[in-house]
Amino acid sequence: MAMQAEAKPLIERYGLQNIEGFFGEVPTELYRGIIAGKELCIVTLGRQHGVDLVGCEAATLATTLAINMLHPDMIINAGTCGAFKANGSEIGDVYLSEGPVMFHDRRIGDDPLGIQSLGNYPTYDAHQMAADLRLKLGKCTTGSSLDCLDEDLAIIKREGGMLKDMEAGAVAFVASVYKTPLICVKSVTDLIDGGEKTIDEFRRNLSMASNALRDACTKIIQYLFVDQPTLF
Ligand code: ADE
């Protein structure tokens, strides 16, 4: 998870303990607990210069360290996102990732097939889980900005992107390198085609969307730890 505001409701839900200094001088933070006999770790990106880190650089660092130091059976990249009302999305909707995670703001001239620029790193097939838990499915698309340039929008539309965030692509890249299964869980804070300035809508809905994220993640953890314990 990226920001503390996104992770706090879930950390409190399970009473997870902050393991201070676990990642040494790196700002990445670890919260840990035992749920139904299994270990649940929440890793957040931490803070630098007095603000919460967001984005691909910190997500790459955190995911690499988490995989190497915690050896997870699976990764859940849980966070908030922008979505499109044209796709029927509403504020507070929670989605599971469908298909590969792409990047929408990497324009590399000599990459005719888009392999390097889009990335398209795999995720675990969450169709059954989404049906069982009544969660929506959508393709995650990642960039380094909260706002959306026309060039980005054209790529998102062309490739069928539905959930725009700032970390999933980086987490999915690292998970693919280490062959660790990944599911993204994304809660909608803002509608990119809704007409409002994204940062204002994001700030207004962050707390509500983070509570919706907690509720969905609680269902997913129950599903993976208790109801379907042989999946991973
Ligand atoms: N996180 C929440 N809303 C977002 C948006 N519109 N773009 C990127 N990341 C986001």
Per-residue pLDDT of the chain (232 residues; tens, 9 = 90+): 999 999 999 999 999 999 999 999 999 999 999 999 999 999 999 999 999 999 999 999 999 999 999 999 999 999 999 999 999 999 999 999 999 999 999 998 888 778 889 999 999 999 999 999 999 999 999 999 999 999 999 999 999 999 999 999 999 999 999 999 999 999 999 999 999 999 999 999 999 999 999 999 999 999 999 999 899 8
Q: Ligand 1: which of 84, 145, 165 to mutate, most ligand atoms within 8 Å of CB?
A: 165
Ligand 1 center–CA 190 separation, angstroms: 7
79: its two tokens = 């966070």
Q: CA Rg, the chain, in Å?
A: 17
- pLDDT value of position 181: 98
SS3 66: helix
Residue 120 CB partners (closer than 8 Å, separation 6+):
100, 101, 102, 114
User: In Å, how far from its chain's centre is CA 224?
Assistant: 17
Task: Please pick, among 6, 93, 167, 201, the residue that the annotation labels catalytic.
Answer: 6
Interatomic CA distance for residues 121 and 182, integer angstroms: 10
Ligand 1 center–CA 199 separation, angstroms: 8
* Residue nearest (by alpha carbon) to ligand 1 atom 1: 81
Ligand 1 center–CA 12 separation, angstroms: 24
